[in-house]
A and B are shown apart, each in its own frame.
Chain A
Amino acid sequence: MLNPKNWVALYADYLLNYAFFRVRDKVLAEDLMQETFISALKSQHTYNGTANEKTWLTAILKNKIIDFYRSKLNKYSKLTDSIDNDTNNDFFNADKNYHWFESKQPHHWNNTDRAIESDEFNNALSNCMQKMPEKLATVFSLKYIDEEATEHICKEVGITSSNYWVMIHRAKLQLRECLEKNWFNI
């Protein structure tokens, strides 16, 4: 049973945080949260009772977030092309059998256990994600935060599976490097 009268009290904060974690913009997250309630009200008849209320509302919000990503991606489609053509050569030296450039090699991380336990690590992680190009961050978030299936992401975003791997590869190279510089070895 849906009980819209209690939605704001029960789920507003939860949905706001859910959205903020993904879009990293408070005003936008607030908008998405409010739109979720409005859409949910209007589509109450589609609720079939299999999911609980919270799960159902979260699914609506999730769709809104994906719509938002998609609209953003259309704007950046030019950027897509440049990323697709880029083969991560700035990490690996084509003249040396695609060995790491020395300046790009990973280094040992200090105090990993302690660092990982800290809440601030999550902030460092999301800061590093913000530094990624929009398109990479989007595909990466869909996979690692929304835990969407790869085929689904490719379809939603309109990329091939090999584009997908180029992007995930690149995203991880950048994210790892950023964390090393800004978190582990400072």
Chain B
Amino acid sequence: MSLKRKIFISCKDATLLTCKKQENAISFKERIQLKIHLFICTVCALFYKQTNLIHEQFTKMNNESHSSSLHVDETIKINLQQIIDKEIEK
């Protein structure tokens, strides 16, 4: 592989490396390649920034106790309680 190809990677590879970096699964060499690519390619830099944002959002959603927007129907609750009570008595 020529030196040029070692240093300059494609947008396809750069976005893949972005994904790897976001999961801390990037090697030192890949990190350098990504850095150089992002420096010269604004489109991939945008991908990097936006997917980081999506990432943060997932972390935030996972940390918030799951919004209790749904409630179990009363009839299901009563049924389930009966099953459990019966099982305990056994």
B16 contact set on A, CB distance < 8 A: 165, 169
Indicate whether A41 reaches chain B with its CB closer than 8 angstroms.
Answer: yes
Q: Are B72 and A105 within 8 A (Cβ)?
A: no
Q: How far is the CA of A27 from the CA of B68 in the complex (A)?
A: 16
CB contact list, A5-21 vs B, under 8 A: 5, 7-9, 12-14, 16-18, 20-21
Interchain CB contact under 8 A, B11 and A179: no
How near does chain B come to A185, taking the closest CB pair, in angstroms?
A: 11
B68 / chain A contacts, CB cutoff of 8 Å: 13-14, 17
A173 and B71 CA atoms in complex are apart in Å by 34
Main secondary structure of the interface of A (DSSP, over half): helix
Q: Mark A158-171, 1 if CB is under 8 A from B, else 0.
A: 00000001001100
Assembled-state Cα–Cα distance A148/B66 (Å): 17
Are B12 and A37 in touch, CB under 8 angstroms? no
Contact size range, A: 35 or more
Partner pick for A20 among B10, B47, B50, B70, CB 8 A cutoff: B70
Whether A8 contacts B12 by the Cβ 8 Å rule is: no
Q: Which residue of A lies closest to B60 (CB)?
A: A116
Interchain nearest-CB distance for A109 vs B (Å): 6
Per a CB cutoff under 8 Å, which of A9, A18, A107, A119 touches B46? A107
| Inter-chain CB contacts under 8 Å: number | 114
Residues of B within 8 Å of A41, CB to CB, are 84, 87-88
**9 closest A-B pairs (Cβ-Cβ)?**
A98-B10, A98-B12, A92-B12, A106-B46, A12-B72, A17-B66, A144-B58, A169-B16, A8-B81
Let me know if A121 is at the binding interface, CB within 8 A.
yes
A181 within 8 A of B: no
Question: Which of A37, A100, A109 makes the CB contact (< 8 A) with B43?
Answer: A100
Q: Are A175 and B66 in contact (CB under 8 A)?
A: no
User: Looking across the interface, which residue of chain B has its beta carbon closest to that of A18?
Assistant: B66
A37 touches B70 (CB 8 A): no
**Which B residue sits closest to A146, measured CB to CB?**
B62
Contact A17 to B69, CB < 8 A, known contacts A7-B84, A12-B80: yes
Tell whether, in the assembled complex, residue B61 and residue A122 are in contact, meaning their CB atoms are under 8 Å apart. Answer: yes
How many angstroms from the CA of A150 to the CA of B51 in the assembled complex? 19
Interface positions of A from 105 to 130, Cβ below 8 Å from B: 105-109, 112, 116, 119, 121-122, 125
Contact assessment for B53 and A112 in the assembled complex, using a CB-CB cutoff below 8 Å: yes
Q: Produce 1/0 per residue, B17-36, CB < 8 A to A.
A: 01110010100000000000
Whether B72 pairs with A13 at a CB distance below 8 angstroms is yes
Is the C-beta of A172 less than 8 angstroms from some C-beta in chain B? yes
